[in-house]
Each structure stands twice: as structure tokens, then as C-alpha cells.
Amino acid sequence: MESIMDAVKKMEGYGQLKKEYDRIKQHVLTDPYVISFLEQNPDLNQSSIEKGLTKLYEYSKEKNHCSNCPGLNLCPNLMQGYQPELAADRNAIEIYYEKCSLKKQDEKQKSMSALIRSYFIPKDILQASFDRLHSIDQDRREAIGAAWDFVKAASSGEGAKGIYFYGKFGVGKTYLLGAIANALAERQIPSLLVHTPEFLREMKSSLSDGSFNEKMELLKTVPVLMLDDLGAENMTNWVRDEIIGVILQYRMMERLPTLYSSNYDFTLLEEHFSYSQKGGLEQAKAKRIMERIRHLAVPIFIGGDKNFRTFQ
């Protein structure tokens, strides 16, 4: 009885097919990646190599894709973001896939982004890092050092005290908060960074859509809260007493660190909080708010004559 192989050999085109197979086999077995694998596994015999030729071909093709990587989004591999590896198991060739460095970096970035919540903060601020602050002038080094000390204290569970960064417009206060948020995320510490004026306007509108309590709970309980541009909001009794005051009181009682940025020093901020819609000043209420801020944060002045954006 004629064997299947003998029958196949008689089929029209078999010769061309065999020629193409031999060409591919030669190409695979002369691939530097495949040669390296075979040299590391000298126990593999010819029969094992023949049986594993399909896996060697896949490995060669995918590995060369990786060596000419076009970027994670354009990855042509069967499993985007995964690179092939070979193993010799009981004289048989096996192929498996592992995440490449770009895939790991992308997942890390997404994981970090999930740890940083923000409202009305520019995208470039959410990509801020301490690595880009090494060339900043001396006037800002104290603030950078204090920021890094906060990250270390928060990471060690020492009960870090917050910071009140203040200075004129453009000295890098918001960027520094962004760098802190990213450094905390690398250490798996969640934070919330909000542009205070815009967020307070949203809080007012959230009374009608039913999300007010949820947002208040978030600001009160997030492990690290950062209030950017405090003092630039339109001050009302409701904002001062029912929003800022309630949030800070809770965080003071629970010893949750809060960081701030502002154009005002403590004296000017107290004047801002003393504003009353009814006319006159409500200094006692303003002092109560300031007591909570002073209790929660150390004031750090950020100087510098040049606009921070010239350093980026």
C-alpha cells in the first residue's frame, strides 16, 4: 500500500513546495537568534529540531520584529507587546512569550495614572518628574528638597506633614505638585490633584446632579490631597465654610496630608478667607480655616526671577 508521504510526493507542485520548505528551513537555521538557542541546547538532536522547526520559524520571525521594534502601538507580533522565548523541554522545543520592556513600561504608566486622580490639571503637569528639576536655580531648591522629603516621609509611613507652596505666578508651584503626585504613584500611594477654582465651581453644579457627596468624600479621604492655586477662587461663605472648611477639618482629624499651591502667603490668604458676602469681614471664620492649614502644612516660599517654563 502506498504511504501518504509517497502520495504527497507525486502531487503536482510538490517539488516547488519542497524547495520553498528547504529555503525557509535554511533561513531559520541560519538565523543568529536560532543559532544561539541551539548552541545553548546541544542535546537537541536533528529529529527534535525538525519537529520544532515551526516554533523556530515563529521565534525567528517574532524576535526579528523585536530587534527592529517600531514601538508598542505598531508592534507586529502575534501578541502585541510580547517577545518570544524558547525552551528545550525533554528534548522538545517549546515557545512562550513574555512582556517586553515597552509593554511593562506602558502598564506601569497606566497603573501610575490610575493612582493619580486630577481635576482641571494640564496634561504636561501630570507628566512632571523630579528628574527634570535638577537644573532649577537656587531660589527653588529649598522647595524641591522639601517636596522630595515629603515623598520619602509619605512612603515610609512616618505621618508626613503637608506643604504650602507659595510664590508669584510661573515659578513652578503646580509642576512641583505634579512631580510629587508621580513620585507617590511610583510608590503605590494614591493622590488627588485639583485646580481649586475650577473644582469649586464644579462642586456647586454637582449639587444638582447628585454627585456632591461623592466628590466631598473623595477630597476628604484621599491619602494625599493637593489643592492647586488656592486663593484664586471666588470666595463665598458657602465655599469657605461648607467646602474648604469641612474638607480640611476632616483631614486634620484623620491626619491625612494636604499640599497646597498659592500666590498668597498666609497673611494674604487669611484676608481672602475673611471675605463676607454680607459685607464686612468674618475674621474669626478666616482664622479657623487658617488654623487648619497651618496645622496641616509647612509654608515654603518658591522664588526665582525667571518663569519656570523657561527651564523645561
Residues 121 and 80 in one domain: no
Residues 185 and 253 in one domain: yes
What would the mean pLDDT of 300-306 be, rounded to a whole number?
Answer: 78
pLDDT tops 80 at residue 106: no
Domain boundary among 51, 83, 99: 99
Find the CATH number of the domain harbouring 201: 3.40.50.300
Residues 114 and 254 in one domain: yes
Residues 119 and 233 in one domain: yes
Domain hosting 79: range is: 4-99
Residues 66 and 142 in one domain: no
- In the chain, % of residues over pLDDT 70: 86
Query: pTM, whole model, 2 decimals?
Result: 0.65
Residues 197 and 304 in one domain: yes
Domain boundary among 99, 123, 143: 99
pLDDT tens, position by position, 26-37: 898 999 999 999
Do residues 227 and 272 make contact, with C-beta atoms less than 8 angstroms apart?
no
Residues 118 and 90 in one domain: no
Domain boundary among 76, 99, 122: 99
Domain count of the fold of the chain? 2
Q: Which of 52, 53, 54, 39 is nearest to 93 (CA)?
A: 52
Residues 159 and 44 in one domain: no
